């Protein structure tokens, strides 16, 4: 097969309402091209988004000339291969219409040899307005809308969140968003290879592979080579390999991620090569285990026979304009996920089926992927043409991803059944829903994959019941009483869910990220720019509501931003640690959300610029394999007259452990007065075994609370392994806004190991809660941040800088704050 890339051709594009052609980049999209040639302002800046909605109403045309060598025309077949066209496209070659498309998620292959000439050829692709398509197709489909402010985007197979979401802008774009090329071949073509694994009781792994050809041909044979780290493990001819001593692939934190390279050549009877296929494989088994138990039915992922507590977050598209994203775009946030001890990401159903780079990195980093099909929230059409298009889409994506080591689950949709419970009682809508999510998609998964489990929706309990009580018995749960209902944060602890696949709390982006989109004169959080970068209606008010319940009124906007991030981290810590303490009854916590597609106030733990919010630093601690966790069963409330009342009396100390190897640890606790005096201390040796959450100690604090007052007490907890602290935190027994924290003097020692690496040592004269440091204007990554700083105990943190630094420059740029500094 010969390949002629068209992505590197000299592309131009135009607004079809005019005649001016401008340079374009492929893969790409019209918004990115317009920005590149300075025909539109930065879409992310200020309120520019609102002034760019005209783009979705226009038709856009792309064209390029390319040269076909005469010898290329000697092959029997020449195909034009388009991996992704977004979305309503008419394709013409040398003036002749080749095809029309209307599904962003489908790749295309068209025979075009008859329309090619030796020498110069011209390809044009006209993208019709998606909005015009929506207005003229399936007019009777009018679903309940949740995120699209205009409506009916469900009638077109296009990235749902392009039409707006409660964390993302509305940029309905168009363009050649994935690779475009010519491929030549003769006689027959290798389309794919199906590889299955069988793991036997003796530890061996049998690989079986079946080539899938365009035209069935039983006379072909296979030549294979299996290697690991460039060392050949097996090679020969045939359709199976037995790996005698396999190195198994494990999720992050459970073992290594060895990836074998399997190369297969499909040979004709004369020994010539018909096709070549190469993939990386992880040898492992993954299943969604749902068996009956005393509470109802388990919901847990089992990898290589080991039940895994899923620790992670939800993934949305990495950019508002997904065309042309590179491996490094993905690596920044995926590596951060692994560094935070995550082992699973849910690829959410309102975005895209991600690129090979994304799944390559998940394979390498040990990040299991819960893969939604791209349907979210609103009801979708059920007519025959729509279902036929979805079937092609699903078949292609399943065939593309089925070999992935990271692939853990196929899921039909995001929240459609949960959000449309009443509408789905209508027989026609229910029939359409079932046809797609309970028949078509599971049938495709079974036929094209046959190994990976399928789950119809998220959340889903298998019986159509969407109550919290049902989630305590079976299935997965999206819990949004905290945030959307503004319920108390302690409500996380009310429910014993089996698996929580969505829950979240917003915070503001850091001042550094805010500066990338917000004009200085409009930097107020309630100003036009900041409101435009808050896509949840009333979201800024909800942030302030939760911040005010826990913290004092801040003295500056930067302090408010800091407090919003502390609150977000606190909320997610409360939820995650509750779910981990419930292990093995609960076997997963995936918070909403890992990343952003533009700079925004959102639920993410990683800002669009790559900066970690406080949540991500704290997530590295609450997802740690060895965790000490405090459960405070009481709470503080108010009565008539705004008088405070507290039911706090006991504190339960738990250890949670999911390292494979057993260990012995030392549990430590110290209760001290806010002024610094130690009131109570204790130690306990604790055994730590895989998959166990154990209540190790109950502290009866009622007498001390009565004597000193809850607002004057702070509990410090820690877990040591082999003489090293692996988990540590402090626990407030009253809302921190009532705790009289001492203003501390902070000492800092900076030592440069080389121009891009330093070690910082912090000391403090008093306890500092969620001590955070920064280097103004300097990009860096740190081994820790937003931590507890205790008096008389130096805290060392390793820092890596993107650019070389000097000691003097670092000293000038260093800033820090803790909770007591915000008021």
C-alpha 669: how far from chain center = 35
241 forms beta bridges with 207
Cα–Cα distance, 476 to 590 (Å, whole number): 10
Cα–Cα distance, 645 to 651 (Å, whole number): 17
- Write out the DSSP string of 223-238: EEEEEETTEEEEEEES
Half-sphere exposure of 762 (CA within 13 A, CB side): 28
Secondary structure of 567-613 as H, E, C letters:
HHHHHHHHHHHHHHHCCCCCCEEEECCCCCCCCCCECCCECCCCCEC
**Which of the residues 265, 415, 472, 668 is marked catalytic?**
415
C-beta of residue 168 within 8 angstroms of C-beta of residue 535: yes
Closest to 300 measured CA to CA, from 521, 475, 462: 475
Cis peptide before 386 (omega within 30 of 0): no
Cα–Cα distance, 204 to 802 (Å, whole number): 44
C-beta of residue 237 within 8 angstroms of C-beta of residue 222: yes
- Exposure string (b/e) for 32-46, b if CB count within 10 Å is 16 or more? bbbbeeeebeebbeb
Q: Backbone phi, then psi, for 803, in 5-degree steps?
A: -120, 155
C-beta of residue 501 within 8 angstroms of C-beta of residue 458: yes
Q: Residue 641, by phi and psi: left (phi above 0), alpha (psi -120 to 50) or beta?
A: left
C-alpha 427: how far from chain center = 35
Closest to 308 measured CA to CA, from 332, 287, 322: 287
Please name the residue ranges forming H helices in 426-538: 427-434, 441-448, 468-471, 511-514, 528-532
Cα–Cα distance, 701 to 651 (Å, whole number): 7
Distances (CA, A) of 212 to 266, 275, 444, 578, 651: 10, 10, 16, 47, 60
In this structure, the chain runs to a length of: 823
- Write out the DSSP string of 693-713: EEEEEEEE-HHHHHHH-GGGE
Closest to 587 measured CA to CA, from 492, 687, 693: 693
C-beta of residue 407 within 8 angstroms of C-beta of residue 401: yes
122 given a catalytic annotation: no
Considering Cα of 535, then 467, then 453, then 375, what sign does the dihedral take? negative
Distances (CA, A) of 447 to 212, 216, 251, 391, 444: 13, 17, 26, 12, 5
* Cα 611-613-617 angle, rounded to 5 deg: 100
C-beta of residue 350 within 8 angstroms of C-beta of residue 59: no
Active-site residue set: 415
């Amino acid at each position: 097969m010969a390949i002629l890339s068209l992505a590197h051709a000299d592309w131009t594009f135009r607004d079809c309402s005019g005649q001016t052609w401008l340079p374009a980049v492929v893969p790409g999209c019209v918004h990115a091209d317009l920005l590149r040639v300075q025909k539109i302002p930065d879409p992310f800046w200020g309120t520019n988004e609102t002034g760019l909605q005209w783009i979705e109403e226009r038709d856009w045309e792309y064209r390029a000339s390319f040269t076909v060598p005469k010898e290329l025309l000697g092959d029997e077949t020449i195909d034009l291969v388009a991996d992704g066209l977004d979305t309503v496209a008419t394709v013409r070659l040398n003036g002749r219409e080749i095809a029309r498309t209307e599904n962003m998620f489908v790749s295309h292959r068209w025979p075009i040899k008859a329309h090619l000439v030796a020498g110069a050829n011209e390809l044009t692709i006209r993208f019709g307005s998606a909005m015009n398509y929506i207005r003229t197709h399936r007019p009777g489909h009018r679903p309940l809308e949740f995120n699209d402010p205009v409506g009916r985007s469900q009638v077109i197979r296009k990235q749902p969140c392009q039409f707006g979401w409660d964390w993302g802008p509305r940029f309905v774009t168009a363009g050649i968003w994935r690779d475009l090329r010519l491929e030549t071949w003769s006689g027959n073509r290798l389309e794919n290879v199906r590889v299955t694994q069988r793991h036997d009781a003796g530890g061996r792994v049998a690989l079986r592979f079946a080539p899938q050809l365009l035209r069935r041909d039983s006379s072909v044979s296979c030549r294979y080579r299996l290697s690991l780290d460039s060392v050949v493990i097996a090679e020969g001819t045939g359709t199976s390999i037995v790996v005698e001593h396999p190195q198994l692939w494990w999720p992050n934190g459970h073992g290594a991620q060895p990836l074998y390279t399997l190369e297969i050549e499909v040979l004709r009877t004369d020994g010539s090569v018909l096709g070549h296929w190469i993939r990386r494989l992880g040898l492992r088994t993954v299943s969604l285990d749902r068996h009956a138990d005393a509470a109802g039915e388990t919901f847990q992922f089992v990898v290589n026979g080991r039940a895994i507590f899923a620790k992670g977050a939800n993934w949305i598209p990495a950019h508002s304009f997904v065309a042309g994203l590179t491996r490094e775009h993905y690596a920044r946030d995926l590596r951060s996920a692994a560094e935070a001890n995550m082992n699973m990401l849910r690829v959410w159903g309102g975005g895209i089926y991600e690129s090979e780079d994304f799944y390559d990195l998940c394979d390498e980093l040990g990040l299991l992927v819960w893969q939604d099909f791209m349907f979210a929230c609103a009801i979708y059409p059920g007519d025959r043409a729509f279902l036929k298009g979805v079937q092609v889409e699903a078949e292609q994506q399943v065939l593309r991803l089925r070999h992935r080591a990271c692939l853990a689950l196929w899921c039909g949709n995001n929240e459609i059944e949960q959000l449309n419970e009443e509408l789905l009682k209508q027989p026609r809508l229910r029939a359409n829903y079932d046809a797609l999510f309970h028949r078509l998609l599971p049938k495709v998964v079974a036929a094209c994959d046959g190994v990976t489990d399928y789950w119809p929706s998220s959340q889903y309990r298998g019986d159509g019941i969407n109550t919290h009580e049902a989630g305590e018995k079976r299935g997965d749960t999206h819990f949004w009483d905290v945030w959307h209902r503004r319920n108390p944060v302690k409500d996380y602890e009310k429910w014993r869910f089996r698996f929580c696949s969505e829950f979240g709390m917003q915070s503001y982006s850091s001042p550094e990220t805010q500066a990338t989109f917000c004009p200085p004169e409009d930097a107020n959080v309630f100003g036009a720019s900041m409101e435009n970068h808050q896509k949840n209606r009333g979201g800024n008010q909800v942030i302030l509501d939760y911040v005010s319940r826990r913290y004092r009124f801040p003295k500056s906007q930067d302090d408010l931003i800091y407090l919003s991030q502390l609150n977000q981290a606190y909320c997610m810590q409360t939820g995650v640690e509750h779910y981990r303490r419930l292990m093995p009854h609960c076997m997963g916590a995936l918070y909403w959300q890992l990343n952003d597609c533009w700079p925004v106030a959102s639920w993410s733990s990683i800002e669009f610029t790559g900066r970690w919010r406080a949540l991500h630093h704290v997530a590295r601690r609450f997802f740690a394999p060895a965790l000490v966790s405090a459960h405070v069963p009481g709470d503080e409330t108010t009565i008539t007259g705004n008088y405070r009342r507290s039911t706090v009396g006991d504190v339960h100390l738990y250890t949670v452990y999911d390292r494979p190897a057993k260990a012995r640890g030392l549990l430590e606790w110290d209760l001290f007065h806010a002024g610094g005096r130690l009131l109570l201390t204790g130690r306990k040796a604790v055994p730590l075994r895989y998959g166990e959450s154990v209540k190790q100690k109950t502290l009866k604090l009622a007498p001390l609370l009565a004597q000193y007052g809850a607002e004057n007490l702070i509990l410090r907890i820690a877990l040591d392994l082999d003489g090293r602290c692996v988990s540590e935190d402090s626990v407030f027994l009253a809302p921190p806004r009532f705790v009289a924290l001492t203003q501390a003097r902070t000492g800092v020692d900076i030592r440069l190991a080389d121009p891009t690496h330093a070690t910082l040592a912090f000391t403090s004269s008093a306890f500092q809660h969620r001590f955070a440091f920064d280097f103004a204007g300097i990009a860096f990554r740190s081994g820790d941040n937003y931590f507890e700083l205790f008096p008389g105990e130096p805290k060392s943190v390793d820092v890596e800088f993107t650019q070389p630094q000097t000691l003097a420059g670092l000293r000038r740029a260093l800033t820090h704050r803790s909770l007591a500094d915000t008021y």
